[in-house]
A and B are shown apart, each in its own frame.
Chain A
Amino acid sequence: MEEKIKVAIGGQLVKKEIKELIESESNNSIEAEIFTDMDASMKVNLGTHDFYLGSCQSGAGGALAMAYAIIGREKCATIANAISKPTPESVQTLVKNGVKAFGFTNDRHELAVKAFVKAILS
C-alpha cells in the first residue's frame, strides 16, 4: 500500500480548522499535524512531511515567513489572499513546479484547503 501523504501545518491562524478540514475533505487519506511554523518548515525540509500549509491575515507573513527562510522562497506560494482565490488546477500546477509550502488567509482557508486537497488527490 502506498504511504499516506503528510502535511505539516505551520502558519499562525486557524490551525485546528485547517487540520480538521484536510482530514474530512480527503476522507483521512491525507495526514495532517500541527506544529509551530519553524518546526513545520523543518519537517518538510527533513522529509518527514511532504507539504507545508499555513495561514495568517495576509496569506504571506505569518503564513509563510519561516517557510521562505527554511524551505526556500521558490518552493513557497500564496494561493489565497484578499484578492486572489485558488483553484485545484492552479494548485496542481504549483505542485508540479515543485512548490512545497502553501500560504493563505484565514478568511479563505476553506477555499484554499479544499483546492489543495483536490489538487493532491486527483
Chain B
Amino acid sequence: MLESIDLLKIFIFALMGGYATFLANKAIAVYHDGLRPIMPEFMNGNMSRKELAGVSFAISIGFITGFALPISIATGIIVIHIILLTADFIGVSIANTKVSVAIGAIYGGSITLVLDAVIKSFEYLPVNFLDALSAVGMPVIYAFVAFPAVTVAYQFGVRKGVYTLIASLAGQIAIEAINPILIVGEEVSLSPQGIALLVGMTFLLTYAAKDKSVGIDIENSVFEDNIQRIKGNAKYLIPMGALLAVAANYQWIAGEPIAGSLLGQDKLVSAAIVAIVQALAFMPLIVTTSMISGVYGTNGWCDWLLGAGYLAPNPIVAAGAGAALMGVEVKSLGGIGRTLHRFPALKESGDNIRTAMTGILEIALLVGGVYAANDIWEGVGMFAVVSLYILNEIAGRPVMKMAAAPLGAIIVGIAANIAAILGLITVA
C-alpha cells in the first residue's frame, strides 16, 4: 500500500491547506462566503476570535460532512470545501500565524491520505461498492446541460425557458448527429453538451441584456477602502490562484459536485465549462462580499481558476493561468462591482443560475443515489434510499437536500457489507 502513496499530491495539498490557512489567518481571504461579511467585525474588534471561530465552525461543518464528504467519496474527486473551509476555521481560530499555518498544512496533506485510504479500503470489503457508488454522479453528467433553460424560465418566464430548452436540445442532437467532423484531415468530436450549454447561455445573456432596469445608487466610497485593501493584498492572493490551478490540472479537486462527477468520468472539457460558468454565477457574490469586507475569496470567483487548470496542458501552464486569472479578478474588482450594481438583471441572472444549478443537482443526485443504491443491493437499495430521503425531508433536512441520496447510497453500501458478513446475502 505504501508504494501507492503519491508524495507530490500530499505536498500540493499540504501547501494548499497551509497557504489558505495563512490567507484566513491574516484576513486576506476566506473561502466561506458567509464568513467574509463577518470578518470586519473581528478586524474592528467588535467580535472576539473565539466568537469568530464559533461562527466559522457552525456555518462550515454542515458543508463538509453533509455535502463535500459524501460527494467526494462517491466521485473520487476531492470537493474543495473539505480543504478550504477547514483552512478558514484553522486560520481564524488560532492567533499565532506559524502554528495555524503548520496545522493547516498538516491537515491538507493528511486529509488526502485519509480519503485515498478510505477509497482504497473498499477493495477489502466483502461487497466492494465503489464502482456502484460512482453511478451517483451519472445523471448529473447529462442533466447539468439544462441549467441555462431552467434559469431563463425562472427569471423570464416558462415560455422563454421552453424556447431555450428546445434550442439547447437541438444544438446537442445536431452535434451528436454530425460527430465526428473532419478538420484539416483530422477527425474531431465536438462536445454535444458544450454546444447545448453555449446555445443556452447565449439565450440567457440575450434575455438578461434586454432587461434595462437600474439599481438604486449607493455611494461607492463606502467600498473604496475595502477594494484598496484587497488590491494591496494581490501579491498574496495570486499564488493561491496558481496552487488551485495546479491541483486542478492533476484532476485532484473540484469546486462542486457537477465538475466532480464529470472529472470522475474523465470529461475534462465539460468539467472546465461547468467550472467557468460557475464563476459567472458566483462572481456577483464574491465581488459584493469582498467589497463590503475588504477580505477576498480564497478560490476567487469560484472555479474558473480550476477550469483553467483542467484545460491547461501541464502544471506549469496551469500555475501561470491560475495566477493570471486571480490577478485579473483583483484588478477588475471595483469596475465589476459598479457594473453589477448598474445592471441588476445581470446580477439577478447570476443568482438564478445558482438556484437552477441547485435544483438540478438536487434531482440528479437523488436519481443517482437511488440508482447507485439499487446497484449495490437490488430492491433493498431503492427502498432504503427513497425512505431515508423522505425521512430527511420530514426531519427538516439535517443533511443537505442534495447530499441526502448520495449519503443514503453509502449507508446502503455499509449495510450490504454487514449483511454479507452476517451471511444474510451471498456475495457474487
Asked if B231 lies at the interface with its beta carbon under 8 angstroms from chain A, I say no
Q: Which residue of A lies closest to B62 (CB)?
A: A82
Q: Are A15 and B37 in contact (CB under 8 A)?
A: no
Q: Which residue of A lies closest to B341 (CB)?
A: A38
Binds B, one of A19-27, A68-76, A90-98: A68-76
Chain B contact residue count (CB 8 A cutoff): 39
Could you tell me the distance in whole angstroms from the C-beta of A40 to the nearest C-beta in chain B?
10
List residues of B (83-130) whose CB comes within 8 Å of A's CBs: none
- Contact of A60 with B34 at beta-carbon distance under 8 Å, contacts A65-B288, A66-B292, A69-B292 already known: yes
Q: Are B344 and A60 in contact (CB under 8 A)?
A: no
Q: How far is the CA of A39 from the CA of B36 in the complex (A)?
A: 20
Could you tell me the distance in whole angstroms from the C-beta of A53 to the nearest C-beta in chain B?
14
Asked if B397 lies at the interface with its beta carbon under 8 angstroms from chain A, I say yes
- Contact of A60 with B59 at beta-carbon distance under 8 Å, contacts A36-B344, A36-B347 already known: yes
Could you tell me the distance in whole angstroms from the C-beta of B271 to the nearest C-beta in chain A?
21
Chain A contact residue count (CB 8 A cutoff): 37
Q: How far is the CA of A16 from the CA of B156 in the complex (A)?
A: 12
Chain B residues near A38: list those with CB within 8 A. 215-216, 218, 288, 340-341, 344, 347
Q: Which residue of A lies closest to B356 (CB)?
A: A13
Asked if A33 lies at the interface with its beta carbon under 8 angstroms from chain B, I say no
Q: Give the interface SS of chain B, mostly helix, strand, loop or mixed.
A: helix
Asked if A29 lies at the interface with its beta carbon under 8 angstroms from chain B, I say no
A97-113 near B? 1/0 per residue, CB < 8 Å = 00000000011100100
Q: Are B59 and A65 in contact (CB under 8 A)?
A: no
B286-326 near A? 1/0 per residue, CB < 8 Å = 00110110000000000000000000000000000000000
Chain A residues near B289: list those with CB within 8 A. 61-62, 65
List residues of B (31-66) whose CB comes within 8 Å of A's CBs: 32-38, 41, 58-59, 61-63, 66
Chain B residues near A13: list those with CB within 8 A. 351, 354-355, 358
Q: Are B344 and A57 in contact (CB under 8 A)?
A: no
Q: Are A61 and B348 in contact (CB under 8 A)?
A: no
Q: Are B218 and A62 in contact (CB under 8 A)?
A: no
Q: How far is the CA of A82 from the CA of B34 in the complex (A)?
A: 13
Q: Which residue of B lies closest to A54 (CB)?
A: B351
Chain A residues near B397: list those with CB within 8 A. 107-108
- Contact of A58 with B34 at beta-carbon distance under 8 Å, contacts A65-B288, A82-B63 already known: yes
Q: How far is the CA of A12 from the CA of B291 in the complex (A)?
A: 17
Chain A residues near B348: list those with CB within 8 A. 36
Q: How far is the CA of A13 from the CA of B282 in the complex (A)?
A: 12
Asked if B268 lies at the interface with its beta carbon under 8 angstroms from chain A, I say no
Could you tell me the distance in whole angstroms from the C-beta of A91 to the nearest C-beta in chain B?
16
Q: Are B215 and A68 in contact (CB under 8 A)?
A: no
Chain B residues near A57: list those with CB within 8 A. 63, 358, 400
Q: How far is the CA of A69 from the CA of B287 in the complex (A)?
A: 13
Q: Are A12 and B400 in contact (CB under 8 A)?
A: no
Asked if A83 lies at the interface with its beta carbon under 8 angstroms from chain B, I say yes
Q: How far is the CA of A65 from the CA of B344 in the complex (A)?
A: 16
Q: Are A61 and B396 in contact (CB under 8 A)?
A: no
Q: Are B285 and A35 in contact (CB under 8 A)?
A: no
B332-348 near A? 1/0 per residue, CB < 8 Å = 00000000110010011
- Contact of A64 with B344 at beta-carbon distance under 8 Å, contacts A42-B216, A57-B63 already known: no
Q: How far is the CA of A59 from the CA of B358 in the complex (A)?
A: 15
Q: How far is the CA of A85 from the CA of B395 in the complex (A)?
A: 11
List residues of B (261-300) whose CB comes within 8 Å of A's CBs: 285, 288-289, 291-292
Q: How far is the CA of A69 from the CA of B215 in the complex (A)?
A: 16
Q: Which residue of A lies closest to B222 (CB)?
A: A69
Q: Are B396 and A108 in contact (CB under 8 A)?
A: yes
Chain A residues near B340: list those with CB within 8 A. 38
Chain A residues near B351: list those with CB within 8 A. 11-13, 15, 36, 62
B37 interface neighbour in A39, A59, A68, Cβ under 8 Å: A68
List residues of A (31-46) whose CB comes within 8 Å of B's CBs: 35-39, 42-43, 46
Q: Are A12 and B354 in contact (CB under 8 A)?
A: yes
Asked if B154 lies at the interface with its beta carbon under 8 angstroms from chain A, I say yes
Q: How far is the CA of A6 from the CA of B410 in the complex (A)?
A: 45
Could you tell me the distance in whole angstroms from the C-beta of B428 to the nearest C-beta in chain A?
38
A61 interface neighbour in B34, B341, B400, Cβ under 8 Å: B34
Return 19 A-B CB contacts under 8 Å, by A number.
A11-B351, A12-B355, A36-B215, A38-B216, A38-B341, A38-B347, A39-B216, A56-B34, A58-B59, A60-B37, A62-B285, A65-B36, A65-B292, A73-B38, A82-B59, A82-B63, A82-B400, A83-B58, A106-B358
Knowing that A58-B34, A61-B36, A64-B34 are A-B contacts, what are 7 other residue pairs whose CB atoms are under 8 Å apart, sorted by A's residue number? Answer: A38-B215, A60-B33, A61-B32, A62-B285, A66-B292, A82-B62, A82-B398
